[in-house]
Amino acid sequence: MQISDLAERAKTASRVLSTATRDRKDAALRAMADALLAAGDDVLAANASDVEAARAAGTGEALVDRLTLTPDRLAEMAQGLRDLALLPDPVGETIHGWNLPNGVHVDQVRVPFGVIGMIYEARPNVTADAAGICLKSGNASLLRGSSSCLRTNRVVVEALRQGLESSGLPADCINLVEGGHEVTDELMRARGLVDLLIPRGGAGLIRAVVEGATVPVIETGTGNCHLFVDASADRAMAMSIMLNAKTQRPSVCNALETLLVHRAIAAEFLPAALDALTAAGVTVHGDEASRAIDDRIVPATEHEYEAEYLSLDLACAVVDDIDAALTHIRRYSTGHSETIVTADAANQRRFTAEVDAAVVLVNASSRFTDGGQFGFGAEIGISTQKLHARGPMGLTEMTTTKYLLSGDGQTRA
Amino acid sequence: MQISDLAERAKTASRVLSTATRDRKDAALRAMADALLAAGDDVLAANASDVEAARAAGTGEALVDRLTLTPDRLAEMAQGLRDLALLPDPVGETIHGWNLPNGVHVDQVRVPFGVIGMIYEARPNVTADAAGICLKSGNASLLRGSSSCLRTNRVVVEALRQGLESSGLPADCINLVEGGHEVTDELMRARGLVDLLIPRGGAGLIRAVVEGATVPVIETGTGNCHLFVDASADRAMAMSIMLNAKTQRPSVCNALETLLVHRAIAAEFLPAALDALTAAGVTVHGDEASRAIDDRIVPATEHEYEAEYLSLDLACAVVDDIDAALTHIRRYSTGHSETIVTADAANQRRFTAEVDAAVVLVNASSRFTDGGQFGFGAEIGISTQKLHARGPMGLTEMTTTKYLLSGDGQTRA
């Protein structure tokens, strides 16, 4: 099917969904969970085919693992849908309301976008997750997953659509987008039909969408996250935050990638840090100054300060002061999460004011940059752009607003 | 100068501006107003050259009028800058703040975007207005006005930069972008250097920016605004709102373009409406049903339901009921401002819920879709997109947000 036809259907369905009550949407989410579990054997069989094909194509084990569904993972997908039903409905919230001097009343209220396109990689859990978050926020979805997950996604989406229909909402609220690269291009340029596009995946995928789209995009970017250990830092606190941010889950965007240590404490802090990091299996890549202090540090190239490792590797540099730390961060940050450990109030104030990032942390681990940790209950991604949403995006960020004006005949003088 | 060099300078200046106090920004705005008035003779002389060149090039009188500065208009530009100094600073507002269960405190605070590019037509007042609004909201500006206004803009921007410098803020907070179309293209693709692009002008200009930009854009769109006169409408109220919305200032985006009249009252309402509209110099272009009622109505083509007139012309159609009105609006609306006049609570509720537009009005004139009327004090444009800002955009919409997390050593379990 052409994207334009699919998007028209989704748009028509979205009109019904946009005014659906919370009760109805929550019933649909529970019915979707039921239908997904009922189709469990078919989902797992389709997934086994996808996994087999991926292995045959020589796909790496990390990607195969993300693609693979198990009964437990399927149950988590269904539970995710049920959990969404427990969250408040963002639609209908009055954000501001006031009277104009002439008595016209103005309300700014939250409303759904309409149709949201998701472009993502070979992770079948994203299919259910994105469909559910879009539905709860009153939006129809166009789901463009990876072709290597297509067999799984077909069965998952069919089950979700059955659940929707059984609850009385149009099946076309959830749509799988199939086809080649030209279909992705069409989706990215479907202005007027698709209200918002969210790419979710690696840096290459996100860049391609941002460069190619004429539909409004929210960029869920990469996290080249820094930790600056100030001279005044509590050493034990800095060590604990560093280890947590680097090693608790190294493959995610809020993991630590670069450690900046104030020169005044580098000779004391780095050897202790290296003891702990080495014990945790972390390889540290550092500049000359850091290597002069601890020879377990291997040489860092410029590239290592620029890129996300997403692994048990850590870039490291010794900096003269907070100005040098701010300059380094300004140069290499992807604007995701930046952390200072300090006991100095002035440095805390400067760091939070001057660092230009979605999340700036003082004396806490960057692993808290997360919709679940923030208490959002659901997260569609973490925005590193400045337009519309910045940082973890929950249901609220999946809505737009509308001004409602009501009067009794007022005209403009 | 290359855009990349200009944008780098603006970015450097924006770092100083982003943490400038309100006192300092307000002093700068007043100094900019003083400098603009001090350069008044030079501005008017440069403008006279631009106007002469535009006339020689055969530019229409409406465009020449927008291009022309007079001492009064110059005084208004300066006063606009002074008025901005009286408005609250949007930067630093805490939107939400809460504690995570582990004691980490989260604040979501308003911060400037950084560097904002404006692409606009031959209106020199926009130069001062946009520069001032960007400055007050803590953003450096790259001002890309029309080449036909270049002589004027050069003198205006030079004066504004002098004002900035005299107040102790970097002159590079305000920058004029000169050069050919390739410079506009470069500006639209300066990702990482320009944080936001706002096109302001006609439909063609806005479409070109939306299609060509990879920098995030806020679309300030056209207004094909409808008025639906329901069967239950107070006739006098409907008449008064119709006349005001159509004739009070026909050239603007919130002016009425299409009148939809419920069939049950069309035979009564239309002749009276035609009396009033004809007396006000309005030509009404209608469908067969309306022309059968009043032969002063000339035939409407499909195009006339699609386009903005921005003149003393009005499209008109008779509709069977609210469903037909909603269908017509869904088909032709540009999502700007849509109005119902009704006494029926159920129809009011349906209209406000189902119409997908930035502003939906009940029993009030669409001319109220305006930042000044909303009480914003300043307006950079009216957004018809759904991302980030929708409807009139004031200072608040010129900011993004940042999450600040502070703890005492918390790590993630």
Give the model's pLDDT for residue A239. Answer: 98
Helix (H), strand (E) at residue B323: helix B322-332
Helix (H), strand (E) at residue A304: helix A302-306
Per-residue pLDDT band for A412 (boundaries 50, 70, 90) equals: very high
Q: How far is CA A54 from CA A50, A64, A73, A195, B262, in A?
A: 6, 7, 19, 33, 60
3-state secondary structure of A266: helix
| Residues of chain A found within 8 Å of residue B369, distances taken between Cβ atoms | 403, 405
Per-residue pLDDT band for B243 (boundaries 50, 70, 90) equals: very high
Cα B380 to Cα B191: distance, rounded to the nearest angstrom: 22
Please choose, from the candidates B154, B203, B167, B192, the residue with its C-alpha nearest in 3D space to the C-alpha of residue B49: B154
Report, in angstroms and rounded to the nearest whole number, the Rg of chain A calculated over CA atoms: 24
Q: What is the pLDDT of residues A170-209, one digit of tens each?
A: 999 999 999 888 999 999 999 989 999 999 888 888 889 9
Look up residue A30 and give its two tokens: 């529970």
Q: Is A281 left (phi over 0), alpha (psi -120 to 50) or beta?
A: left
Cα B353 to Cα A19: distance, rounded to the nearest angstrom: 7
The residue whose two tokens read 């499209």 is B315
Q: How many CB atoms lie within 10 A of CB B86?
A: 9
Task: State whether B403 and A360 contact (CB < 8 Å).
Answer: yes
Give the model's pLDDT for residue A396. Answer: 96
Cα B392 to Cα B384: distance, rounded to the nearest angstrom: 9
Chain B's closest residue to A115, CA to CA, is B386
Q: What is the pLDDT of residues A260-298, one digit of tens each?
A: 999 999 999 999 999 999 999 999 999 999 999 999 999
- CA-based nearest distance A163→chain B, Å: 25
Look up residue B286 and give its two tokens: 């209608």
Q: What is the pLDDT of residues B284-340, one digit of tens each?
A: 999 999 999 999 999 999 889 998 999 999 999 999 999 999 999 999 999 999 999
Cα A311 to Cα A227: distance, rounded to the nearest angstrom: 16
| Residues of chain B found within 8 Å of residue A98, distances taken between Cβ atoms | 375
Query: Residue A323: is it exposed, middle or buried by C-beta count within 10 angstroms (0-12/13-18/19+)?
Result: exposed
- pLDDT at A222 > cutoff 90: no
Q: Is the dihedral of CA B194, B196, B199, B203 positive or negative?
A: positive
- pLDDT at B222 > cutoff 90: no
Task: State whether B410 and A361 contact (CB < 8 Å).
Answer: no
- CA-based nearest distance A189→chain B, Å: 9
For chain B, domain boundaries: 3-221+385-406, 225-372
Give the model's pLDDT for residue A204. Answer: 86
Q: What is the pLDDT of residues A45-68, one digit of tens each?
A: 999 999 999 999 999 988 899 999
B62 or B296, higher pLDDT: B296
Give the model's pLDDT for residue B272. Answer: 98
Please choose, from the candidates A404, A401, A403, the residue with its C-alpha nearest in 3D space to the C-alpha of residue A112: A401
Q: How many CB atoms lie within 10 A of CB B27?
A: 18
CATH of A3-221+385-404, one of 3.40.605.10, 2.40.50.140, 3.40.50.180, 2.40.50.500: 3.40.605.10
A382-396 mean pLDDT: 95
Per-residue pLDDT band for B2 (boundaries 50, 70, 90) equals: confident
- CA-based nearest distance A353→chain B, Å: 7
- pLDDT at A313 > cutoff 80: yes
- pLDDT at B114 > cutoff 80: yes
Query: Residue B2: is it exposed, middle or buried by C-beta count within 10 angstroms (0-12/13-18/19+)?
Result: exposed
B49-71 mean pLDDT: 94
Per-residue pLDDT band for B220 (boundaries 50, 70, 90) equals: confident
Q: How many CB atoms lie within 10 A of CB A63?
A: 15
A9-24 mean pLDDT: 97
A243-265 mean pLDDT: 96
Q: Give me the residue from A98, A248, A387 closest to B216, CB to CB.
A: A387
Give the model's pLDDT for residue B148. Answer: 94
Cα A82 to Cα A87: distance, rounded to the nearest angstrom: 10
Per-residue pLDDT band for A169 (boundaries 50, 70, 90) equals: very high
- CA-based nearest distance A399→chain B, Å: 9
3-state secondary structure of A92: coil
Q: Under CATH, what is the fold of the domain A225-371?
A: Aldehyde Dehydrogenase; Chain A, domain 2 (3.40.309)
Task: State whether B359 and A402 contact (CB < 8 Å).
Answer: yes
The answer regarding whether domain B3-221+385-406 maps to CATH 2.30.30.240 reads: no
Phi and psi angles of residue B58, each rounded to the nearest 5 degrees, phi first: 80, 20
| Residues of chain A found within 8 Å of residue B390, distances taken between Cβ atoms | 400-403
Give the model's pLDDT for residue B202. Answer: 82
Q: How many CB atoms lie within 10 A of CB B236?
A: 10
| Residues of chain A found within 8 Å of residue B409, distances taken between Cβ atoms | 234, 236-237, 240-241, 363-364
Strand residues in A208-336 grouped as ranges (E): 225-229, 256-262, 283-286, 298-299, 313-319
Cα B232 to Cα B343: distance, rounded to the nearest angstrom: 5
Give the model's pLDDT for residue B130. Answer: 96
Q: Is A318 left (phi over 0), alpha (psi -120 to 50) or beta?
A: beta
Cα A48 to Cα A42: distance, rounded to the nearest angstrom: 10
Per-residue pLDDT band for B203 (boundaries 50, 70, 90) equals: confident
Helix (H), strand (E) at residue A212: helix A203-212
Q: Give me the residue from A19, A352, A412 closest to B404, CB to CB.
A: A352
DSSP-assigned letters across all residues of A272-298: HHHHHHHHTT-EEEE-HHHHHH-TTSE
A90-118 mean pLDDT: 97
Do B50 and B149 contact (CB within 8 A), yes or no?
Answer: yes
Helix (H), strand (E) at residue B284: strand B283-286
Interface size between A and B, measured as CB pairs under 8 A: 201
Task: State whether B412 and A373 contact (CB < 8 Å).
Answer: yes
Q: How many CB atoms lie within 10 A of CB A255?
A: 25
Task: State whether A409 and B19 contact (CB < 8 Å).
Answer: no
- pLDDT at B135 > cutoff 90: yes
| Residues of chain A found within 8 Å of residue B358, distances taken between Cβ atoms | 402-403
SS (H, E, C) B9-44: HHHHHHHHHHCCCHHHHHHHHHHHHHHHHHCHHHHH
Q: Give me the residue from A19, A240, A407 closest to B411, CB to CB.
A: A240
Q: Give me the residue from A375, A392, A412 closest to B100, CB to CB.
A: A375
Chain B's closest residue to A345, CA to CA, is B406
User: Residue-wise over B44-83: b if at least 16 C-beta within 10 A, else e?
Assistant: bebbeebbebbeeeebeeeebebbbbeeeebeebbebbee
Report the mean per-residue pLDDT for chain B.
96
Please choose, from the candidates A334, A264, A267, A346, the residue with its C-alpha nearest in 3D space to the C-alpha of residue A305: A334
- Decide if A3-221+385-404 and A225-371 have a common fold: no
Per-residue pLDDT band for B221 (boundaries 50, 70, 90) equals: confident
Q: What is the pLDDT of residues B142-152, one digit of tens each?
A: 999 999 999 99
Do B373 and A412 contact (CB within 8 A), yes or no?
Answer: yes
- pLDDT at A113 > cutoff 80: yes
CA atoms lying within 13 Å on the CB side of residue A242? 33
| Residues of chain A found within 8 Å of residue B224, distances taken between Cβ atoms | none
Chain A's closest residue to B245, CA to CA, is A411
Domain B225-372 sits in CATH at: 3.40.309.10
3-state secondary structure of B217: strand
- CA-based nearest distance B266→chain A, Å: 20
Task: State whether B367 and A98 contact (CB < 8 Å).
Answer: no
Task: State whether B387 and A387 contact (CB < 8 Å).
Answer: yes
- What share of chain B in percent tops pLDDT 90? 92
Task: State whether B365 and A19 contact (CB < 8 Å).
Answer: no
Q: Which of A403, A406, A408 to mutate to test the interface with B (most CBs of B within 10 A)?
A: A403
